[in-house]
Structure 1
Amino acid sequence: MATFEGLFTQSSSLKVGIVVARFNDLITNKLLSGCLDCLSRHGIDVSANSSQLDTAWVPGSFELPLVAQSFAKSGRYQVVITLGAVIRGDTPHFDVVISEASKGISAVSRETGIPIVFGVLTTDNMQQALERAGIKNNLGWNYALQALELGSLMQKLG
Structure 2
Amino acid sequence: MNQMLQESEVNSSQVKAAPETIDPPPTPSHPRFAKPQRVAFVQSSWHREVVEQCRIAFLDEIEARHIDRARVDLFEVPGSFEIPLHAQLLAKTRRYTAIVAAGLVVDGGIYRHEFVADTVIKALMDVQLRTEVPVFSAVLTPQQFHESSAHVEFFRKHFATKGIEVAEACANTLLSLERLRGQVAAGIV
TM-score, normalized by length of structure 2?
0.70
* Counterpart code for 1:125: F
- The unaligned stretches of length 5 or more in structure 2 are 1-28, 182-189
* Counterpart code for 1:70: L
Deviations 1:94-150 (A, max 9, x none): 123112211111110111111100111111225667435426962111011111011
Q: What does 1:59-138 align with in structure 2 at a 5 Å threshold?
A: 59-89=78-108, 92-123=111-142, 124-126=144-146, 130-134=153-157, 138=161
Name the structure 2 match of 1:9.
31
Name the structure where strand makes up a greater proportion of residues. 1
- The unaligned stretches of length 5 or more in structure 1 are 1-6
Give the aligned CA root-mean-square deviation in angstroms: 2.4
Deviations 1:38-79 (A, max 9, x none): 011122211xxx2x2111111100001011111111111111
Query: For the structure 1 residues 8 and 109, does the alpha-carbon distance in structure 2 shift closer, same or farther, using more than 3 Å as the test?
Result: farther
Q: When the two structures are aligned, how many residues end up with a matched partner?
A: 148
Do the aligned residues in 1 keep the contact of 2:44 with 2:102 (CA within 8 Å)?
yes
- Between 1 and 2, higher relative CO (CA 8 Å, sep ≥ 6) is seen in 1
* Counterpart code for 1:87: V
Name the structure where helix makes up a greater proportion of residues. 2
* Counterpart code for 1:147: C
TM-score, normalized by length of structure 1?
0.82
Q: After TM superposition, what 4+ stretches of structure 1 lie above 6 angstroms from structure 2?
A: none
Distance in 1 between the 2:127 and 2:151 partners? 28
Query: For the structure 1 residues 69 and 90, does the alpha-carbon distance in structure 2 shift closer, same or farther, using more than 3 Å as the test?
Result: closer
SS in 1 for 2:157: coil
